[in-house]
Structure 1
């Protein structure tokens, strides 16, 4: 068995004296692992850092085997990411979310989104907005997508202001007013590409919204806590935006 693809490094773990098991998110082969012989060498270590884009050749005798990777660096993003606490926590958070996906299950949209988010993780506000949208995409890919397109009560598509914590459906400000204390705020940054309404409050509301559904649908059923890196990412992003 053999294939070639591009992949973004999610992490590594030691294997034997000199090798590592490399975990990557690929475009056509999903989240995939493979052995990199000599991966702990000084020459190889810089290429195998989280966030780097690699050219990969995977080989194994049988498809179900771990297999081995031959790697060539394409973009060494880790050198840039390591200088920013937001970026470090961010790439760890992205990796944690992607580990919820079945291994080797293709998700090309998430692969492309991962690359785009990683490019902007050093920018606290842009990185936080993109992280929240990435979390919505993960929910969608795993069958728990939120309906933020129209009001669940009136069918209106404008003035959406809340989301039901039970159904994940949006509600307008007027229709949701009687139950506002029981609904989750829906910041405009999750329903529009415009950044005009982006501020610390909007970021906090967006991450609270996606965090609620990530935990309810993906982490809690697996008996997992929310990634500690996610809280670190939010705190670092808020500091970067000047929040007290």
Structure 2
């Protein structure tokens, strides 16, 4: 049966968001698939010698999920479709991006609610980690976080200045409203606003280290306040480590 999150059996490509050992060799996994959203399940042998490589966070698997009754923790089987985790091992920053994306999605998305567009975007970002310039990877990850905020109902409005209405020279974002502010509109309030990296205003721009730090700070503010704050959680540790890593590059 292929259907929504309430199905008792489904098969689909799915991203592994997390995997934790359970018992001697099994694993509790969180999967993200287009039609089912985030789903939890038990993989027999998932943390054993043979299974652990398949169920690494970030990997794309062809998964089969089954449960006997609604609300039961299902059992999962599957085959590796794309070894994204192994590819990201080529770079410390790529691995940090992968860990951050998986942790943020795992913590932010409600269980069994489909986000097909976001799932596709997540798969695209994970597939390119370890294969591109680190700047491209970071800019893509930050754009992904902006999309995540939008899909969860907390869209940033970067189209025009909230004060003057102008569409050029947008330099800041209001930490209260999430709306862009121009240099003229900011005035003496500029120190209280969040810097807006220019690459977020142009689809093919990449930015530099300062832009990536500002972009990660920008999305972290709204993720922390609007997504994780209401459920009484802090930003995932992997997300905090990513910002620390990029800040360290800025200081070199």
Could you give the per-residue CA deviations for residues 122-153 of structure 1, whole angstroms, max 9, x where no partner exists? 34211211121111112112111111111112
Whether 2:139 is the aligned partner of 1:161: answer: no
Work out whether residues 213 and 246 of structure 2, in 8 Å CA contact, stay in contact via their aligned partners in 1: no
Aligned equivalent of 1:142, options 152, 155, 161: 152
Work out whether residues 125 and 237 of structure 1, in 8 Å CA contact, stay in contact via their aligned partners in 2: no
Whether 2:78 is the aligned partner of 1:71: answer: yes
2: CA distance, partners of 1:16 / 1:179: 55
2: CA distance, partners of 1:77 / 1:124: 15
Give the structure 2 partner of residue 209 of structure 1.
218
Could you give the per-residue CA deviations for residues 142-198 of structure 1, whole angstroms, max 9, x where no partner exists? 1111111111122222221111111111112222233212211111111211326x1
Q: Number of aligned residue pairs: give it.
A: 242
Give the structure 1 partner of residue 189 of structure 2.
179
**Which structure 2 residues correspond to residues 29-108 of structure 1 after superposition, within 5 A?**
29-98=36-105, 99-108=107-116
Work out whether residues 196 and 218 of structure 2, in 8 Å CA contact, stay in contact via their aligned partners in 1: yes
Q: CA deviation at 1:243?
A: 4.8
Mean Cα deviation higher: 56-65 or 152-161: 152-161
List runs of 5+ in structure 2 lacking aligned partners: 1-7
Give the structure 1 partner of residue 122 of structure 2.
114
- RMSD of aligned C-alpha atoms? 1.8
1: CA distance, partners of 2:250 / 2:196: 22
SS of alignment partner, residue 161 of structure 1:
strand
List runs of 5+ in structure 1 lacking aligned partners: none
With normalisation by structure 1, the TM-score equals 0.91
SS of alignment partner, residue 58 of structure 1:
strand
Q: CA deviation at 1:238?
A: 5.2
2: CA distance, partners of 1:84 / 1:64: 39
Mean Cα deviation higher: 47-56 or 8-17: 8-17
